[in-house]
């Protein structure tokens, strides 16, 4: 992926390695890679399991609600390097735009909100169909971080044009919906029962990130949403009133007034 047009201050180097690398982003990527590596060694893999979001959260391992995004996931393949490279590309520009404090706050709030909702969904799933082998799999590790930083980039640099797969030009803001689409496709391919909790978690992370970073902040976004809903309700109400008050015009004789019934 690459950007065809500049998208304002704080960016302009997406799709390459140019520009000063933020130390925080380097630490983030390195942490994911190290934790991903530890899963292949006996002993350290126990620590990895303690930090990932697992059914153990129902037994009191509540720290998993916040630690799971920083624990790399996936098999021993080069795919992890591509994921981390994409994570670096998006996170770098988001970091320079937001600054250290707001960058980490966005990551933590979105990740925790996603995990809390996902756990609630999984509790319902347990009562209905039981625990599937892929519970929370869609939202583990770098997958959640990618969902958050891509949603942040799409919100902050919505007018940027990104070449999807280096070929298809797409406005950055559309990546909010593309993330949901990709997550849904992954949901369809998850084991039985389907990983509904993981899919919902991704959706919540995308929505929370966009809400946090929208112009005016969450308060302004909720205000605009409320105004839109009120307008839609008024339009619907007016249509209902028009249907109830249908007028029939009857012409009278020559000099008689017209009566409306």
Give 124-140 pLDDT, tens digit per residue.
888 887 666 678 999 99
Distance, CA of 38 to CA of 43 (rounded, Å): 9
pLDDT, position 5: 38
CB 40 within 8 A of CB 59: no
193: preceding bond cis by omega (within 30 degrees): yes
Which residue in 131, 124, 127 sits closest to 193, CA to CA? 131
pLDDT, position 97: 93
Phi and psi for 3 in degrees, rounded to 5?
Answer: -105, 135
Which residue in 217, 209, 199, 177 sits closest to 104, CA to CA? 209
pTM for this predicted structure: 0.76
pLDDT digits (tens, 9 = 90+) for 196-232: 999 999 999 999 999 999 886 555 555 555 667 778 8
**Residue 186 burial (CB count, 10 A):** 17
pLDDT digits (tens, 9 = 90+) for 87-100: 999 999 999 999 99
pLDDT, position 169: 75
pLDDT, position 258: 47
Query: What is the rounded average pLDDT of the residues 5-25?
Result: 58
Write down all domains in the chain, each with its CATH number in brackets. 23-222 (1.20.1540)
CB 89 within 8 A of CB 22: no
For residue 7, pLDDT over 70 is answered with no
pLDDT digits (tens, 9 = 90+) for 161-205: 777 666 677 788 888 998 999 999 989 887 777 889 999 999 999
pLDDT, position 181: 92
Distances (CA, A) of 97 to 91, 103, 174, 179, 209: 10, 9, 19, 21, 14
């Amino acid at each position: 992926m690459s950007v065809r047009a500049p998208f304002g201050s704080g960016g302009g180097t997406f799709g390459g390695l140019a520009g000063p690398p933020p130390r925080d982003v380097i630490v983030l990527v390195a942490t994911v890679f190290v934790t991903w590596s530890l899963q292949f060694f006996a002993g350290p893999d126990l620590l990895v399991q303690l930090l990932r979001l697992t059914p153990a959260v129902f037994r009191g391992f509540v720290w998993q609600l916040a630690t799971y995004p920083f624990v790399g996931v996936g098999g021993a393949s080069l795919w992890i390097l591509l994921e981390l490279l994409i994570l670096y590309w998006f996170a770098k520009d988001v970091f320079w735009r937001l600054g250290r404090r707001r960058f980490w706050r966005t990551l933590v709030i979105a990740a925790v909100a996603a995990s809390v909702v996902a756990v609630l969904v999984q509790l319902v799933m347990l009562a209905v169909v039981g625990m599937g082998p892929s519970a929370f799999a869609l939202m583990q590790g770098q997958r959640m971080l990618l969902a958050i930083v891509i949603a942040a980039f799409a919100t902050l640099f919505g007018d940027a044009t990104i070449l999807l797969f280096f070929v298809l030009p797409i406005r950055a803001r559309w990546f909010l919906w593309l993330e949901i689409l990709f997550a849904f496709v992954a949901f369809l391919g998850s084991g039985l029962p389907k990983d509904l909790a993981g899919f919902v978690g991704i959706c919540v992370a995308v929505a929370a990130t966009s809400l946090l970073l929208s112009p005016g902040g969450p308060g302004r976004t909720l205000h605009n949403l409320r105004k839109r809903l009120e307008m839609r309700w008024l339009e619907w109400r007016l249509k209902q009133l028009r249907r109830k008050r249908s007028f029939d015009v009857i012409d009278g004789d020559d000099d008689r007034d017209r009566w409306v019934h």
